[in-house]
Structure 1
């Protein structure tokens, strides 16, 4: 039985590209490494030669020269949350456009999972980190920040950490939610919290309280139900709502998941939405388009939030940060839909 003799395919080298384009190898290297620093005509000439020759840059060798991995770590609290999934799409789009890869660290809301990602950063296997979990991860007495790599807090600010924060106007949107419900005539409110103690929850509840005060209401005019940012929190809040003798007619949930869980549970008990109780959510996730009735919510610019966070991180890596990049807060849009309406007249509320 004859053996087939395999021959190694001749590797296309950078010198081949240079010869085909009629330029020096140094020019080819500049075009591939720093395309913004060469003339458009030269760039197009070299890239056409790359295409025709089938040349593939040796990323490993390039990374050794630049001391960069061309990879970013993104730490997320819980990937099943549709908010983080949409933000990640924005992050990935921005990184891909700039030639970077992504490693996603899913904590699944478990602090003990942080250790593996601390090791990854301390061993400098990435060029930078985007933190969506609201804190600097630690392993024992060691912190991810000790690596000295660029870090950006995304979605949830990390105050006093000395790193840029890219968030949304949480406090302002919560204040506007109360204002909106008050304008509809609601004077007895319900507040479904997010994860207690987190920066996001503190901001949103502060905004809610500011809205209550601005509407001429007091702490006796609202009920607060605590829990993490989940469907289950909304279900638990609804069960507590149903046990009340005097129920709120307007409810603000600090995430759409909780709002959806609340609506499903109260409707199953015969409570009408919005005739008996109006509900406002927060996030603008795709699921909110398919609830019955459709959910009134404050829509976060999730994709743009991810792209902005990634863009700021890349600027840090490249040493191009400006003072304006250190605290970015994107606005939200109120989507007025079917779960809100005028407060019921006295005697018609769900009691």
Structure 2
């Protein structure tokens, strides 16, 4: 194992000088620094990051707990987090939980054991044990896609999901589409609850009240959208449009509709949510509510690093505005009269 004194001997300087070069704790003459860095390269010296963290009480590492990094939505958020961390000289330690309580709790403890400086958390579902452990742990934490925080030194970065849902519903209503099915997420998911509230408020403002049969919960994955769409197609009449609470659900629903012989968007219009890259390459290209996915990740890490570097308190809640992206999956107008059975339908 190569140590500081080996580098000092190779470069002809003191151990203290080598330490200043490695840690950037004091200015060293340029020619001396060059000798030290050449010796480091020749010997293959690597600083012991754990020892440095113990000494300085800082690891310049942020831990991130996510549901699944291979989900296109989470992947884009992670990219925003990681790009900003790298730009600020921080490393990112990523943990995929699969949304199981055991893994969430295990990774939370593992990240603390690794002496990360702060946490970023974005999970689709979190049990009470994990949420309580998160609130009790002492590290500054930024949550994304979550309910407002309940602990100290915890912040949330979200999009305005209620507004986003209103944009989706209003777009469908403007085209004369009133028989709208809602493919939601699990009841416990905070963003899904907000999107449902926004969608129902927009429908109510138009004098519409969808029956319970037009609201189907999903797991927010493509297979959930596929199964939900098949449920809707077993009922009559077929809805004129669906608003899916994320793009993966919309993609699964579109597949199920095609398998049953429906033409999109003539027989069924579809609006998604998120604006993942795949949506623009579908046929028809997916109309969706774009939340600034990359920016949410970048803002979360920026908030946390600002707290770590300058001791500034975390802002409790930051909301970014979504916007509607109109493509091809919603037809321009409805030729047939709207089915009156939907207006004021009873649950």
Question: What residue in structure 1 maps to residue 342 of structure 2?
Answer: none
Other-structure match for 1:241: 232
Corresponding position of 1:3: none
C-alpha deviation, 1:124, in angstroms:
5.8
> In the alignment, which residue of structure 2 is the partner of 1:116?
106
Please list, as runs of the form range in 1=range in 2, the aligned pairs for 1:201-212 lying within 5 A after superposition: 201-212=192-203
The reply on whether 1:331 has 2:321 as its aligned counterpart is: yes
Q: Deviations over 1:258-305 (max 9, x none)?
A: 101111111121111111111000011111122111111112221111
Residue 142 of structure 1 deviates from its aligned partner by: 7.1
Corresponding pairs, count: 332
Could you tell me whether the CA contact under 8 Å between 1:114 and 1:138 is conserved in 2? no
Show CA shifts across 1:223-282 (max 9, x none): 101111101111112112212222221210001011011111111211111111110000
| 1:280 match | 271
SS state at 2:284 partner: coil
SS for the counterpart of 1:260 is helix
2-structure distance, mates of 1:27, 1:114: 37
Aligned counterparts, 1:29-68, within 5 A: 32=24, 58=47, 60=49, 61-68=51-58
Gapped regions of structure 1 (runs ≥ 5): 1-6
Equivalent position SS for 2:24:
helix
Distance 1:225 1:330 in 2: 27
Partner of 1:198: 189
Structure 1 residue 33: deviation in Å? Answer: 5.4
TM-score (norm 1): 0.81
Paired with 1:115 and 1:165, the residues of 2 have a C-alpha distance of: 20
Q: Which residue of 1 aligns with 2:343?
A: none
Deviations along 1:82-111, whole A, 9 cap, x unmatched?
A: 100111111111112222222211111222
Structure 2 CA distance for partners of 1:207 and 1:348, relative to 1, 3 Å = closer
Q: Does 1:97 align with 2:87?
A: yes
Which residue among 247, 250, 267 is the counterpart of 2:241? 250
CA distance in 2, matches of 1:267, 1:189: 18
Deviations 1:52-72 (A, max 9, x none): 776778353543332112222
How far apart, CA to CA, are the structure 2 residues paired with 1:43 and 1:145?
Answer: 47
What residue in structure 1 maps to residue 134 of structure 2? 144
Are the aligned partners of 1:284 and 1:298 in contact in 2 as well (CA < 8 Å)? Answer: yes
Q: Displacement, 1:194?
A: 1.3
Structure number with greater CO (CA < 8 Å, separation at least 6) is 2
Which of 305, 316, 328 is 2:307 aligned to?
A: 316
Cα distance in 2 for partners of 1:54, 1:225 equals 61
Root-mean-square deviation (CA, aligned residues, Å) is: 3.6
Write the distance in 1 (CA, Å) between the matches of 2:146 and 2:194: 10
Report if the CA contact (8 A) 1:138-1:144 is conserved. no
Aligned partner of residue 208 in structure 1, secondary structure: helix
| Residue in structure 1 matching 2:163, options 156, 159, 172 | 172
Partner of 1:183: 174
Separation in 1 of the partners of 2:128 and 2:35? 48
Match of 1:345 among 335, 338, 347: 335
Q: Corresponding residue for 1:4?
A: none
In the TM superposition, 1:15-30 aligns within 5 A as none
Q: SS at 1:328's partner residue?
A: strand
Q: Unmatched 5+ residue regions in structure 2?
A: 340-347
- Could you list the per-position Cα deviations for residues 309-342 of structure 1 after superposition, in whole angstroms to 9, with x for gaps in the alignment? 111111222343257x321111223211110113
